[in-house]
Amino acid sequence: MLARRVSSLLGCRVGDKVGYQVRFDKKVTSATEIIYLTDGMLLQRFFSDPTLSREELIIFDEFHERSLQLDVALALAKRLCSDMRPSLRMIVTSATLDLDQVGEYLGDCGKVELRSRSFPVKVEYVSSAGREPIWKQVTEQLRKVMPRQEGDALVFMDGAYQINRTVREIQGAAWS
């Protein structure tokens, strides 16, 4: 998804200058300069090329969404930067992570903190509506909530398939 957006901003096709790699799908060529990949795919790159010889920069985005794979990838990247590839750069980003704690772990690194205005958020949890597919459940809940709420809705989902189906379902709904 993000690779598509960045590709369109740069005026190129996905896989040319900007690509992605997930477990069962890959749009990357030898000319690809920016590759969005999952933490699992980053670990696979470490296994196949322990020095990440073709990479110049690794960005760990949304690092607060911690996982074992992400922590291992960060540890490998840190060791690689300090022991074998001092020219390899890392950026760790998070909206909620403790800046000092990450800075202490990474050692000699620059830190940038961006402060911005916070907006009030109302969280509504809805239990599963049974056998209906998740995209139908989300569309129905949004139909109920949106007319009585001002603002936007943020929905968290598991994967690209569910997201795409939900977007199509909402776009096809008479109320949207």
pLDDT band at 10 (very low <50, low <70, confident <90, very high): very high
Query: Domain check: are 135 and 51 in the same one?
Result: no
The answer to whether residue 87 is domain-embedded is yes
Query: Domain check: are 158 and 128 in the same one?
Result: yes
Residue 129: its pLDDT value, please?
Answer: 65
User: What range defines the domain where residue 35 resides?
Assistant: 2-106
- pLDDT (tens digit per residue) in 94-137: 888 888 888 888 888 888 888 888 778 788 777 776 788 999 99
* Cα 109 to Cα 144: distance, rounded to the nearest angstrom: 48
Query: Region 144-160: what's the mean pLDDT?
Result: 81
Last residue of a domain, one of 74, 106, 138: 106
Phi, psi of 123 (to 5 degrees): -100, 130
Query: Domain check: are 15 and 89 in the same one?
Result: yes
The answer on pLDDT for 149 being more than 80 is no
Lowest mean pLDDT of 59-68, 82-91, 146-155, name the range.
146-155
Residue 53: its pLDDT value, please?
Answer: 93
How many domains, in total, are found in the chain? 2
Residue 107: its pLDDT value, please?
Answer: 86
- pLDDT (tens digit per residue) in 20-57: 998 889 999 989 999 999 889 999 999 999 999 999 99
* Cα 123 to Cα 30: distance, rounded to the nearest angstrom: 44
Query: Domain check: are 99 and 146 in the same one?
Result: no
Query: Domain check: are 132 and 173 in the same one?
Result: yes
The answer to whether residue 112 is domain-embedded is no
Residue partners of 35: CB distance under 8 A and separation at least 6: 18, 19, 20, 21, 28
User: Within a 13 Å sphere around the CA of 121, how many CA atoms are in the beta-carbon half?
Assistant: 8
Query: Region 154-167: what's the mean pLDDT?
Result: 87
Query: Domain check: are 40 and 90 in the same one?
Result: yes
Query: Domain check: are 80 and 138 in the same one?
Result: no
The answer to whether residue 55 is domain-embedded is yes
Query: Domain check: are 163 and 87 in the same one?
Result: no
In the chain, pLDDT over 70 holds for what percent of residues? Answer: 99
The answer to whether residue 113 is domain-embedded is no
The answer to whether residue 111 is domain-embedded is no
Q: What is the CATH number of the domain that holds 96?
A: 3.40.50.300
Report how far apart, in Å, the C-alpha atoms of 145 and of each of 125, 127, 134 are.
Answer: 12, 15, 16
Could you count the other beta carbons within 10 Å of the beta carbon of residue 74? 21
Query: Region 73-83: what's the mean pLDDT?
Result: 93
Please give the full DSSP string across the chain, using - where no structure is assigned.
-HHHHHHHHHT--BTTTEEEEETTEEE--TT--EEEE-HHHHHHHHHH-TT-TT-SEEEETTTTS--HHHHHHHHHHHHHHHHT-TT-EEEE--SSS-HHHHHHHH-S---------------------SSS-HHHHHHHHHHHHGGG--S------S-HHHHHHHHHHHHHSTT-
